Amino acid sequence: MIFSDKITALAAQAEKELSGIYRDIDELSFFNTSRIMDAFSEYRVSSTMFDGTSGYGYDDRGRETLDLIWARVFGAEAAFVRHGIVNGTQALTIGLFGLLRPGDLMCSVAGKPYDTLEEVIGISGERGNGSLADFGVGYRQIELNSDGTLDFEAIGSLLRYEKDKNKPVKVIFVQRSKGYLNRRTLTVEEIGKLAGFVKSISPETYVVVDNCYGEFTEKCEPSALGADMVIGSLIKNPGGGMAECGGYIAGSARAVELASYRLTSVGCGLEVGATLGQNKNLYKGLFYAPHTTAQALKTAHFAAYMFGALGYNVSPLWNEKRSDIIQTVITGSPELLCAFCRGIQKGSPVDSYVTPEPWAMPGYNDQVIMAAGAFTQGSSIELSADGPLREPYTVYFQGGLTYESGKIGIMSAAEAVLKG
């Protein structure tokens, strides 16, 4: 791919300024890789664990061992990871339906949850489809403070109010990553503080974290700091670009057990689930995950530098610490949003010849444009960009299986935006 002198020079300047940050990211990747290798060693991972089971999938040592490893790596009492969970939304649905009963209350404390959860909760879409609202689960929402931090005062008073009514809040739900919102991403430390705060007032309350895009961007996960359920997708960070599909839940033993009854059935829980030869991809994915996440982090810093230098409003800034792999650029117009996505598409290893167009995606309220030239459909640990067609036309992008390819994609997007 040939780039203009302007973009080539800017890229060189970016890498010079980012060298210290890239070194820190390499160190983070080393730290998390060594945690994973220690767990592999402790649980004696062997090639026989990659053999798949069929049918009920009883005694699948590969599956059972990976659950233990996942729990260890996530600093959790228990975990499950399954290729059969179709996406992050389903993993979150399993977790929420596992915990919530009719008459219970759930409160989202980082404002509106991710778009696809709205219909699951029942705050949008039709009634009668089996949302949490249809089952009589109440929903509250507490916005973040104007500086993007958690509103502990409001959270505390809700918890106390419901506890005084003898009906403690069942689930405090928090989304770590900004998702499709113009807000700060929460750090693991902040979520840990939330978990401690919630438990100090209302020990019965479960703290559930939408961990999508956050995994391995820090040295530990929210489950290590007291969250009861941490949930994510394998076609994002923890699948390392290797998992073909899947999701996971990690957390406290009882919460994970309750989720397991929703995953399969009450009684069967985690004792069943044929792995059909997918174990190797999931092990390999976890093994790669810190490295792949590091590639995505470097790509995000690079993009923040490039688009910041070109005069766009970016978040986070090029030199800001991250707790997820999402980078946003406010393009300001539908034309530039689409140009950006076309540039990313053109700089992708697969389907580089296609032109992305906005469409009404299931589960989303606005039209969305998505650019992805991924080996795995919809994978967003691979370089991908998307944005809902609404003000201020923010493009959200993430991923990059290798820094080199991520850099090419970002340079291509920069060229496309310069041309308009």
Ligand X SMILES: *Cc1c(COP(=O)(O)O)cnc(C)c1O
The DSSP secondary structure of 111-128, one letter per residue, reads SS--TTHHHHHTSSS-TT
Q: Enumerate residues 6+ apart whose C-beta is below 8 A from 114.
A: 88, 89, 92, 175, 179, 180, 210, 212
CA 285 from centroid of its chain's CA atoms: 15
Both tokens assigned to 239? 């699948």
CB of residue 25 to ligand X, shortest distance in Å: 20
Restricting to residues 245-284, which ones interact with ligand X according to CB under 6 A?
Answer: none
Q: Does 229 bind ligand X (CB under 6 A)?
A: no
| Cis bond before residue 316 (omega within 30° of 0) | yes
Query: Residue 332 or 363: which CB sits closer to ligand X?
Result: 363
CB of residue 23 to ligand X, shortest distance in Å: 28
CA distance 53 to 366: 41
Taking CA atoms, 226 is separated from 16, 18, 76, 178, 188, in Å, by 39, 34, 8, 21, 10
Stretch that binds ligand X, among 5-13, 24-32, 52-60, 208-216 (CB under 6 A): 208-216
CB of residue 74 to ligand X, shortest distance in Å: 17
Stretch that binds ligand X, among 150-158, 207-215, 266-274, 368-376 (CB under 6 A): 207-215
Query: Residue 65 or 131: which CB sits closer to ligand X?
Result: 131
Among 119, 162, 190, 210, binds ligand X (CB under 6 A): 210
Stretch that binds ligand X, among 58-66, 205-213, 311-319, 338-346 (CB under 6 A): 205-213
CA distance 362 to 408: 30
Stretch that binds ligand X, among 28-36, 157-165, 210-218, 249-257 (CB under 6 A): 210-218
Q: Does 316 bind ligand X (CB under 6 A)?
A: no
CB of residue 200 to ligand X, shortest distance in Å: 27
Query: Residue 178 or 346: which CB sits closer to ligand X?
Result: 178
Among 32, 53, 65, 87, binds ligand X (CB under 6 A): 87
Rounded to 5°, angle at Cα 242 from 222 and 55: 90
CB of residue 1 to ligand X, shortest distance in Å: 28
CB of residue 122 to ligand X, shortest distance in Å: 17
**Tokens 């693991």 sit on residue:** 188
Both tokens assigned to 70? 């996942």
Q: Does 89 bind ligand X (CB under 6 A)?
A: yes
CB of residue 97 to ligand X, shortest distance in Å: 15
Query: Residue 161 or 375: which CB sits closer to ligand X?
Result: 375
CB of residue 267 to ligand X, shortest distance in Å: 27
What is the 3-class SS of 321-346, one letter each residue?
Answer: CCCCCCEEEECCCHHHHHHHHHHHHH
> Do strands 171-175 and 206-210 pair parallel, antiparallel, or not at all (unpaired)?
parallel
CB of residue 211 to ligand X, shortest distance in Å: 8
Query: Residue 65 or 187: which CB sits closer to ligand X?
Result: 187
Cβ(395)–Cβ(303) below 8 Å: no
Site string for ligand X, 165-194 (x = CB under 6 A): ----------x-x-x---------------
CA distance 75 to 252: 10
CA distance 100 to 89: 16
Among 88, 95, 98, 399, binds ligand X (CB under 6 A): 88
Both tokens assigned to 192? 């840990």
CB of residue 59 to ligand X, shortest distance in Å: 30
Neighbouring-strand partners of residue 371: 385
Taking CB atoms, the residue at the shortest distance from ligand X is 88
Among 213, 248, 288, 340, binds ligand X (CB under 6 A): 213
Indicate the helix (H) or strand (E) that contains 288. helix 279-309
Query: Residue 179 or 356: which CB sits closer to ligand X?
Result: 179
Among 114, 288, 305, 403, binds ligand X (CB under 6 A): 114
Taking CA atoms, 73 is separated from 22, 38, 95, 249, 376, in Å, by 23, 9, 19, 12, 25
In the β-sheet with 368-372, what is the strand arrangement from edge to edge? 313-315, 327-330, 394-398, 384-388, 368-372
CB of residue 376 to ligand X, shortest distance in Å: 12
Among 53, 93, 116, 281, binds ligand X (CB under 6 A): 116
Rounded to 5°, angle at Cα 203 from 202 and 209: 90
Contacts to ligand X by CB under 6 A: 87-89, 114, 116, 175, 177, 179, 210, 212-213, 233
